[in-house]
Amino acid sequence: MSTGQDRTGAGQERRSASRPLIAALKVTEISRWRTINAIFWGALAQGSAVGLAAVAAWLIARAAGMPSPADLALAATIVRFFGIGRGLFRYVERLFSHDTALGGVARLRERVYDALAASGADRVLALRRGDILARLGTDVDAIGDAWVRAVYPLGVALLISTATASISLVLVPAAGIVLAVCLAVAIVAPAALTWRSARLAARLGSAADARVSTASLSAIESAPEHRVWGTWGTAMAELRAADSDAEAAREAAARPASLAVAVQALAAGVALIGSLVIAVTTSGIPPTTAAIVALLPLAAFESAATVPTAIMQVFRSREAALRIEEITGADLASEPSWPASSPAEATPAVPRLEARGLHVGWPGGPSIGPIDLDLPPGGSLAVVGRSGIGKTTLLLTLAGALPPVAGRALIDGRDATAADVGRLVAVTAEDAHLFGTSVVENLRVADGALTDEGALEALREVGAATWVNGLPEALDTPIGDGGGTVSGGERRRLLLARALVHPAPVQLLDEPAEHLDDAGVETLVQTLGAAAGQHRSIVVVTHDLALTRHVDRVLDMDSLEQTEPDTAAPTDE
Amino acid sequence: MKPLDPRLLREVAPARRYIIVTAGLGALLAVLITLQALVIGRALAPVLAPAPLDDDGLHWWGFLVPQTAREIGTAAAWLVAIVAARVGVTWLQERLAHRAGSQVISQLREKVVDHTAALGPRWVASGAGADVTTTVTRGLDALLPYFVRYLPQLMLAVTVTPALVLVVLGLDWISVIIVVVTIPLIPIFMILIGLVTRERSARHLEAMQRLSRRTLDLIAGIPTLKALGREHGPGRRVRELGEAQRKATMGSLRVAFLSGMVLELLTTLSVAIIAVTLGFRLVDGLVSIETALAVLVLAPEVYLPLRNVGTHFHASADGIAAADAAFDVLETPAPVIGAEQGVEAGSLAGATITAAGLAVATPDGTRDAPGDATLTALPGRLTALVGPNGEGKTTTLLALMGLLPVDRGEISATAADSALILLSEVDGESWTANFAYVPQRPDLGPEGRTLSLGQRHLTAMEAAFAAADRPVLVLDEPTAHLDGRSRTALIARLRAAAQQGRTVIVATHEPELVDAADAVVEIRAGVRS
């Protein structure tokens, strides 16, 4: 279940075709009927352009024979209809396709959210906030873009090209064949060249871009040092070298892209010359037919011109789909399987937490251990040590969110698993999220059945009641994103109140004293003292010495030694 | 919004060259399009004409394409040459666009990085400085589609469109009237639509942003929900928000796509009207077949660049925003430390460096850190700056070296011969050249980045000890990455350097180093006054 293995797996996957994209497109649940509809409207719009060219050619050819003006009336009306139709149909098509894609994006986002939420706690808790936002935000949007900017335009291009070539084929078969071949070239060759360009840009570009970023950022960061030593020129020379690397990468990607555009111009030109020559030299066809066949190529290539953009979008969306797949690690097509959550056992008994020869660490990173500890039901433990030593990692391992590197983390004698997270053992991370909703709803995140009275009680215990009552709408005041701002100390108290109302019998708190003033720490100490012992066990990670004096045991991660707290703590055994 | 930033042309040479070349290629393209239309008119006319053609149906434009092109073999030869030239121009244009965009990105990035260094560390740490990293890493990339997609079409709109209008004028002035009437209608309608729907768009935009924020809020909370075992459920809420967002977005798109529709409608409809009027005039013999065919082929080409400019509007908006961000940085005046045109500071060997009442505002402007620093660093002595993190030790060091403008206070040196040198009166660079500086995280270039921070630190310190021409040694947290033994050794070397007559100033938390110092100055932040 190591993340490292998953990454390699996904890397090999990259070689294969666009399967993740197709899977993601399926999850948007956009019906075939809607797709046909979107392509239909798009084809009407593009078809209007082709129709306008064809009927106008007929009109001019017919008029050249100087018939009575009445003979032109119908053609004139049709030309005007196509003139209006293109704009109108395009408007309908754009609205319809965007509406369809946005609906699909909403469904996909729910599915990715659920898949992520249902996947292992180790996976979710290891993700950076920025990654989660990017995957569920812009990457999911990119799948929607694949519909609007790739699938539909490609469908329209194929349909219209086939239809245009067919018209020509019916009128003068030889000209039809020329047009069909040229259209096929104008679609297939640019598609292949664009794909190659996108791959080159991704392969060469990302390494060059990384070097440019490093050079720029370190130049900016170290500017004072370079100014003192007079070495600014060296820093700039390095940036210039990185930049010319990046230019070379962009140049390599630009070559096939430029070729794609040139091939399209060439195909259109060849079709024009071929059709014109065949139309003029074929004997026995009426002038109107000759004019249509000769002039059709001028309008026929517009839909094919969308191919490079569409292929570029396929590439981007496919990358997005790969990233989404990587982050969820699950097959999106199947319904997420939720770990058995049983509201029936609302208050499970307080379990015993143990570590035996436990080594903890993130997959692929350094580990620390061995740690042996025993936290009996109702006990309390403080974990101290310098930053970066692995205190948070230990917390997550004890909770079952991270698998041990070696040794065992036990809950009531059995190995802790991800299913225990949030049920038997709840974790309040240092950067736990306050949702952009009311104060009370932020507490209900921990316990959906929490009453207003219960919320106020918990807030009183953590010393935040006065603050909350002073808010404009008390418990119902919006906070977090889009609401009023919350100071660091208030945030801590709210998170602590949330942990207090959470039903899990073991609470693991990461740095609950950060940003608290002395009075706040005093309240925290009392609250924890009252909470531990009765119906829960508590583990705190802290820098604050005051906290360590009021727990049963202190684990020093620097020395891996356990000590009794400095001053006598209230005993419970 | 300006479609083309004049600063881009003024400041960035490849951009200027590219615009000129693109304009030239645009003119060439206009000629090729014209020739192609005339040849098609010539070649097709004999097939359509009920009687053999006598007069030159192209009037005075006929000189461009001789009447021999009525013969299909000649016409085909002409077209082969024209198509070859068009393919060449298209390819060249695309290559030049990529290359120019790429060079402009590099040049602007280098300019921005260079100027950012001149703006100093305090500006970088401020809000405006935070965006610089985005600009130099990813932001400028938006200029590539701007150069490749948008600018060429813009140039075609100002070269091909007017040129073809002139050609059509020479062929058939009635068609030109239709063109001349419709082209100004495009911006007029777009502005009108913009005015009518402004309030509605703003409302929708606000709703979309609100919904998007709430969705991102739920998403950002996944780890928290997971840690509390409450992750089951909000997925449905995400979907509901997505649906609400779809409705809000569609409301705004219904309006936003209107201007695109007007553009397509006006351009296509006028092509249709030109075709229809040509047809009826052809029946009456008011226009020649060759002219009718040529104008029919030219009419869509007149509007094509305008339509493409509309299509690539987003590439334009993003590119302009990227250029704006870069020029905002470039146009921020760099602070002058010392005096402009000041005299050389000369060597500070044996000089006493003094700071009196130094105050520097923090980047967010809420406090002064340092708040009121006064210190005297004697030659031959080790002076230590102490105090908690964030109170201004590093800032004081930077100010002493003449790298930061101070908001209050004065920095000066008393030379061995008692002459007073004020930093504010001398050339800043010559003052700074007296210092050998080792920051907390030294940068030794690409090779240095493979070393650990501790090794980098040691290498940088060796360089500082060796720089005998720099009498003042300034070290920021020199013992941070060292174990006990190397710490003691380093402190001994610092003492030795002082004994050799150098002025040694350190910022430190290390008690052992503080004990070894000759003078200890506590740096504290102060309220902003």
ipTM metric: 0.86
Write out the two tokens for B8.
């881009």
In chain A, residues with a C-beta closer than 8 Å to the C-beta of B186 are none
Distance set, CA B213 to CA A128, A143, A480 (Å): 18, 20, 11
In chain B, residues with a C-beta closer than 8 Å to the C-beta of A255 are 95
Mutate to test the interface with B, among A89, A122, A206, A225 (most CBs of B within 10 A): A225
* Separation CA B442–CA B451 (nearest Å): 11
- Of B218, B268, B279, Cβ closest to residue A72: B279
* Separation CA B139–CA B132 (nearest Å): 9
pLDDT of residue A451: 87
* Separation CA A456–CA A451 (nearest Å): 9
Instruction: Count the Cβ atoms, other than its own, within 10 Å of residue A74.
Output: 11
Mean pLDDT for chain A overall = 85
Dump pLDDT digits (tens) for A258-304. 999 999 999 999 999 999 999 999 988 999 999 999 999 999 999 99
Q: Among candidates B516, B505, B489, B468, which has minimal Cα distance to B379?
A: B505
**pTM for this predicted structure:** 0.83
What phi and psi, each to the nearest 5 degrees, are found at residue B503?
-90, 120
Reading chain B (529 residues) residue by residue, the pLDDT tens digits are 577 888 988 888 899 999 999 999 999 999 999 999 999 999 999 999 888 877 787 877 888 888 888 999 999 999 999 999 999 999 999 999 999 999 999 999 999 999 999 888 888 877 677 678 888 888 888 899 899 989 999 999 999 999 999 999 989 999 999 999 998 888 888 788 878 777 777 787 788 888 888 888 888 888 888 888 888 778 888 889 889 989 988 988 888 888 889 889 999 999 999 999 999 999 988 999 999 999 999 999 999 999 898 888 777 888 888 888 899 899 989 888 888 888 888 888 889 999 999 999 887 777 888 889 999 999 999 999 998 777 888 899 999 999 988 999 999 999 888 889 999 899 988 999 999 999 888 887 777 767 777 778 888 899 999 998 999 999 998 887 777 788 889 999 999 999 999 999 999 888 889 999 999 999 988 877 5
Distance set, CA B53 to CA B71, B305, B369 (Å): 12, 34, 90
Alpha helix (H) residue ranges in B312-434: 313-330, 393-400, 428-432
Give B352's strand partners: B414
CA distance A412 to chain B (A): 19
Our CA angle for A153, A156, A160, nearest 5°, is 145
* Separation CA A321–CA A105 (nearest Å): 13
Dump pLDDT digits (tens) for A404-447. 888 888 888 888 887 788 888 888 887 788 888 888 888 888 88
CA distance B251 to chain A (A): 10
Give A561's strand partners: A556
What phi and psi, each to the nearest 5 degrees, are found at residue A510?
-100, 115
- Of A72, A113, A234, Cβ closest to residue B238: A113
Region class of A369: left (phi > 0), else alpha (psi between -120 and 50), else beta: left
Q: Would you say A242 and A212 are in contact if contact means Cβ atoms under 8 Å apart?
A: yes
Region class of B365: left (phi > 0), else alpha (psi between -120 and 50), else beta: left
Q: Would you say B381 and B504 are in contact if contact means Cβ atoms under 8 Å apart?
A: yes
User: CATH homologous superfamily of domain B352-527?
Assistant: P-loop containing nucleotide triphosphate hydrolases (3.40.50.300)
In chain B, residues with a C-beta closer than 8 Å to the C-beta of A498 are 228
In chain A, residues with a C-beta closer than 8 Å to the C-beta of B296 are 56-57, 60, 295
In chain B, residues with a C-beta closer than 8 Å to the C-beta of A204 are none
In chain B, residues with a C-beta closer than 8 Å to the C-beta of A98 are 249-250, 253
Whether residue A487 lies within 8 A of chain B, CB to CB, comes out as no
* Separation CA A212–CA B138 (nearest Å): 10
A512/B276: higher pLDDT: B276
The verdict on a CB contact (< 8 Å) between B253 and A259 is no
CA distance A432 to chain B (A): 5
- Of B232, B257, B292, Cβ closest to residue A117: B232
pLDDT-above-90 percentage for chain A:
39
Domains in chain A: ranges and CATH: 19-328 (1.20.1560.10), 353-563 (3.40.50.300)
pLDDT of A149 strictly over 50:
yes
* Separation CA B188–CA A425 (nearest Å): 65
Strand runs (DSSP E) across A182-296, as ranges?
none
The pairs formed by A158-166 with CB atoms below 8 angstroms and a separation of 24 or more are: A158/A187, A159/A39, A159/A43, A160/A43, A160/A46, A160/A47, A160/A50, A160/A300, A160/A303, A161/A186, A161/A187, A161/A300, A161/A303, A161/A304, A163/A43, A163/A47, A163/A50, A164/A50, A164/A296, A164/A299, A164/A300, A165/A300
How many beta-carbon contacts under 8 Å exist across A and B?
A: 408
Q: Would you say B360 and B407 are in contact if contact means Cβ atoms under 8 Å apart?
A: yes
Whether residue A92 lies within 8 A of chain B, CB to CB, comes out as no
Q: Among candidates A538, A213, A282, A553, which has minimal Cα distance to B140?
A: A213
